Every structure is written in structure tokens, then in C-alpha cells.
Amino acid sequence: MDGISPTSMTFPKPKERERDVVLSVSDVSVSFGDAVVLDGVSFDVFRGEILGFVGATGGGKSVLLRTVLGLHRKTSGTIRLFGFDIDRLADEERLRIDMRLGVLFQHGALFSSLNLLENIQVPMREYLDLPKPLMDELALLKIELVGLSPGDALKFPSELSGGMIKRAALARALSIDPEIVFLDEPTSGLDPIAAAEFDELVAKLRETMGLTVYMVTHDLDSLFSVCDRVAVLGDGRVILEGTIEDMLRSEELWIKAYFRGKRARQLDLAGRRR
Ligand SMILES: Nc1ncnc2c1ncn2[C@@H]1O[C@H](COP(=O)(O)OP(=O)(O)OP(=O)(O)O)[C@@H](O)[C@H]1O
């Protein structure tokens, strides 16, 4: 051994490394019938960063996430994942790209009829051809990685607390070691302590695995404590993309109300950044 243990290895922060674009969204629009939900959205996600995505309720954050994942059809624009235009991929190439993505949908979305171990193995079964003992071993590693106990492995979702379900869903999102994870409101429904612990876990995974994180959130604590940058969706497009400091400086009405409004003041988040 050269004395470097996996736990002592950390990946350099995005600022210190060359900015490798993992996801690039350019001028993307999405409509449902006559209703235009996204109207020329553009932004980039860089390797190793935690990007927080915010915007008014019903503004299109989930639609955007689902469009990036290929679950909604866009009317125009370009989406590049790892440099590949997703419209120009053959099915097999798309599959290889999908294997590099992990997703935690809102509300966890675990399969209620599968236990924790089996839930985590769903992506392994979908994309890989592994013997069962190896899948069990890998799933147990993921269970420990997200801070759950191997003793929980055979429990069903109905036997898990809200915080445990979020961790289980994260373990499933990490099942086949993706390079980027998409988290849709991962701390919603959690008490502040469980939410803060979840944020710490995400930050730790970024540090130790070099994970890139795209996080849709309404949670001001998450935005202030773990996000490197924030993108704000308004009127169907990204109206500001930058650091929390950029958000705090903005005079745009919604951004000002959100980041410097009553709730932010109650949490004294702005004060904590200074
Ligand atoms: N499959 C669909 N068909 C038609 N309209 C849809 C569909 N999915 C979403 N919408 C509409 O698109 C708009 C944006 O919804 P979306 O769920 O993306 O908002 P959001 O920003 O994620 O909201 P929230 O913060 O409340 O989760 C809403 O008006 C919604 O009704």
C-alpha cells in the first residue's frame, strides 16, 4: 500500500480543476399543447459541482429534469450529455449514456413490493448482467455508503422512515456508479435535522467520489450549505446562473424575494454567508 486510503482521497473542487461540462442545455423549449412551459432554457453543469435548481412552483423544474432525461419531448433546442447531443444517439449509445446517470425522483419512488436490497438492484438488473451474489454485495456497499445499516437490507419501503427512504432512493440512484445524479427535491418532507444530514451525505459523496449533482430544491438550507452554484428558472428560462453570492446580489424581484425574503432572514442564511 502507498499509504493512501480511499477515505483519505478527495477529488479536487471544481474551481481547482478544468471545467469539464457534463450537461449542456442550450435554448431548450417544451410545450404541452398550447402551453409553453420552457421557452429557451440554457445552462451548463460542470463536473464535480453541486448545482441547485430553483424556481417558482409550477415553473417547469421537473419538466426540465424529465426533458434532460429524455422523458419529455422538447420542441426545440439541444441537450448534450458528456458532450453527446442526445438527439443524435443510436439506441445503444443512448443506453451507454443512461448508465452514466443516476436519478432520485421526487418522493423517492421506491418499488413498494421490493425490499431495500432489491430496489437498489433495479438499475443493475436493467443495465448489467451480474450474478446475484455480486449484486447483493454491491447493493450492501451502497446501503453502507448512504449511511443505512446492512440490517435494513431486507426491509420493505413501508418499514422505512422518510429519511431512510430518501437514503435508499439515493443508494438506488448510485447503484451502478453514475457520474452525475439528478435529485428532484431530495429533502422535501424531511425534518431539518434529517435534511441537513442528507445534504452532508451528498456533499461527502461529491468529495469522495467526484460525483456531479443536479439538485432541484426549494430548500434554502441546502442551497446555502452544499450548492456550489444555483440556476434560477423564471418565465420558462434560466434567469440567473451563479453562486449564492450572485443570488444575494441580484435585484431581480423573484430572486430577491427568495434569497433575501422573510424566510431567508428567519433562517439568517444570508448572514451566515458573510
Ligand atoms: N405531462 C404533462 N402534461 C401537461 N402539462 C404538464 C405535464 N407535466 C407538467 N405539466 C405542467 O408544466 C408546468 C410545470 O410543471 P413542473 O412540475 O415542471 O413544475 P415545477 O417547477 O417542478 O413545480 P414544483 O416546484 O411545484 O414541483 C405545470 O404547469 C404543469 O401543470
ipTM of the complex: 0.96
Q: Whose CA is nearest to atom 31 of ligand 1?
A: 58
Output the pTM of the full model.
0.87
Residue 34, ligand 1, Cβ within 6 A: no
Query: Can you tell me which residue has the cell 430548500?
Result: 219
CA distance 174 to 139: 10
Q: Which pLDDT score is estimated for 273?
A: 54
Residue 60, ligand 1, Cβ within 6 A: yes
**Ligand 1 centroid from CA 67, angstroms:** 12
Q: Among 162, 68, 149, which Cα is nearest to 108's?
A: 162
CA distance 247 to 258: 9
Q: Which pLDDT score is estimated for 147?
A: 87
Residue 62, ligand 1, Cβ within 6 A: yes
Q: Three-state DSSP class for 216? A: strand
Q: Where are the beta strands (DSSP E) in the chain?
A: 21-32, 35-46, 50-55, 76-81, 84-85, 101-104, 180-184, 212-216, 229-234, 237-242
Q: Which pLDDT score is estimated for 224?
A: 87
Contacts 24+ apart (CB under 8 A), 203-206: 203/50, 205/145, 205/174, 206/11, 206/48, 206/49, 206/50
Cα separation values, 201 from 100, 149, 163, 186, Å: 20, 15, 12, 12
Q: Among 198, 196, 218, 229, which Cα is nearest to 61's?
A: 218
Q: Are 54 and 232 in contact (CB under 8 A)?
A: yes
Q: Are 251 and 242 in contact (CB under 8 A)?
A: no
Question: Angle at which helices 116-127 and 132-145 pack, to 10 degrees?
Answer: 120
Counting Cβ atoms within 10 Å, is residue 92 exposed (0-12), middle (13-18) or buried (19+)? exposed
**Mean pLDDT by groups of 10 residues along the chain of 274 residues:** 45 60 96 94 95 91 93 94 93 92 83 94 90 92 90 93 88 93 89 88 90 92 90 94 93 90 66 52
Residue 32 Cα: closest atom of ligand 1: 4
Q: Are 78 and 243 in contact (CB under 8 A)?
A: no
CA distance 187 to 72: 24
CA distance 165 to 173: 12
What letter does residue 59 receive in the DSSP assignment?
S
CA distance 106 to 4: 37
Q: Which pLDDT score is estimated for 274?
A: 47
Q: Which pLDDT score is estimated for 162?
A: 84
Residue 63, ligand 1, Cβ within 6 A: yes
- For a ligand 1 pocket test, name from 30, 32, 65, 71 the mutation site with the most ligand atoms within 8 angstroms of its C-beta: 32
